[in-house]
Structure 1
Amino acid sequence: MAQQVTSRSFLERLAVLEDQVAQLRRTGWERDELPVYPTSLHAMPYEDDTTFITTWETVLSPRTGSLSLGLVFIGDFVGTTNTGGAWQVLLNGADVVMSGTIAATYSYQFAAQVIDLTPYRTLTGLKLQIQVRRTSGATTGGKYGSGGAVAIAPRYARLL
């Protein structure tokens, strides 16, 4: 037997829409996770270079006012020598919005910050780069042979 689909009236559609809006209001602010992709040729977030190297990056549309970014990093231990480094986060290829050091302790360290995106709201694409470099420690051996390596990775990246 053939079934007929009746179209919904305007009032029925309005009631469904009002219910959906009320449900969204009850859930509060939603946060969009931002994917960040590895760029290192080593396929891991470890780097042993002494100049800043981009290990993670992404391009986003700055639709929101801020980005909450959390990072984790660790130094290296080669023989009896600990290796440390420095890290920075760039927006738009040149603006350093976060930076710090990686202690030569071979233990995990964490950094987190909410980054203001309002100066970039007019851009259609905004490049985010996470960079790292080795600043101290072993100069031979290590993960890739040219000294201790420092690792950095994003823990989370949320558009708020």
Structure 2
Amino acid sequence: MPKVLQPPDLLRRIAVLEEQLDALRRSGWERDELPLFPTSLHGLVYEDNTSFTTYWESIFIPRTGTLALGMVMIGDVVSAVNTGGEWQVKLNDTTVVASGSVPATFSYAFPTATIPLTSYLNAGQLKVQLQCRRTSGATTGGRYGGGGSIGASPTYARLL
């Protein structure tokens, strides 16, 4: 006797596909890394400016609700004078969404920031910048002659 194939249940197949797609979206959102690119004119992301200077930046299309950012900062020491400063994360060249200080101790600091992106989800693109400036320390000498420098680098940037 010939076997009769049952026609596939279209609604069941769509439900299974939607479930798999939702699982893929959730797992991708937890692991999406955002690349940040250096902007220093010196080739090293280590500056001695007293006004905020962009060290790292990226332009991306926001598709998730949060950006988790980890950083490493270090001040300089010039002629036994330690240099400290400030850092900030800026969106679209206008909005400061996180900030902190770089201690004048010539030791590493590892600040983190969790930045909500829900108000930017409808934007076509979003620019994120990591900026620093020197606020204390030597005013002459140092790596580039303008005094002590502040070094900064992202350790991770994850879209959650």
| Contact 2:30/2:159 (8 A) holds in 1 | no
Residue 30 of structure 1: how far off its partner (Å): 3.5
SS in 1 for 2:20: helix
Q: How does 1:149-160 map to 2 (within 5 A)?
A: 149-160=149-160
1:116-150 per-residue CA deviation (whole Å, 9 max, x = no partner) reads 00111111110001111111100111111110000
Give the corresponding residue for 1:21.
20
Q: Where in structure 2 are there 5+ consecutive unaligned residues? A: 1-6
Distance 2:101 2:70 in 1: 15
Distance 2:111 2:80 in 1: 27
Structure 1 stretches of at least 4 aligned residues deviating more than 6 Å after TM superposition:
none
1:46-99 per-residue CA deviation (whole Å, 9 max, x = no partner) reads 110111111110001111111111111000011110001111100111111110
Q: How does 1:29-108 map to 2 (within 5 A)?
A: 30-108=30-108
2:112 maps to amino acid: A
Q: TM-score, normalised by structure 2?
A: 0.83
SS in 2 for 1:110: coil
Q: Where in structure 1 are there 5+ consecutive unaligned residues? A: 1-9
Distance 2:138 2:115 in 1: 34
Residue 42 of structure 1: how far off its partner (Å): 1.2
| Residues 1:141 and 2:141 are matched in the alignment | yes
Q: TM-score, normalised by structure 1?
A: 0.83
Distance 1:32 1:42 in 2: 30
The CA RMSD over aligned residues, in Å, is 2.3
1:100-130 per-residue CA deviation (whole Å, 9 max, x = no partner) reads 1111100000111211001111111100011
SS in 2 for 1:148: coil
1:158 maps to amino acid: R
1:74 maps to amino acid: I
Distance 2:20 2:97 in 1: 36
Distance 2:73 2:132 in 1: 9
Distance 1:133 1:81 in 2: 17
Q: How does 1:109-124 map to 2 (within 5 A)?
A: 109-124=109-124
| Contact 2:68/2:114 (8 A) holds in 1 | yes
1:22-65 per-residue CA deviation (whole Å, 9 max, x = no partner) reads 9x57x956310000000010111111011111111000111111
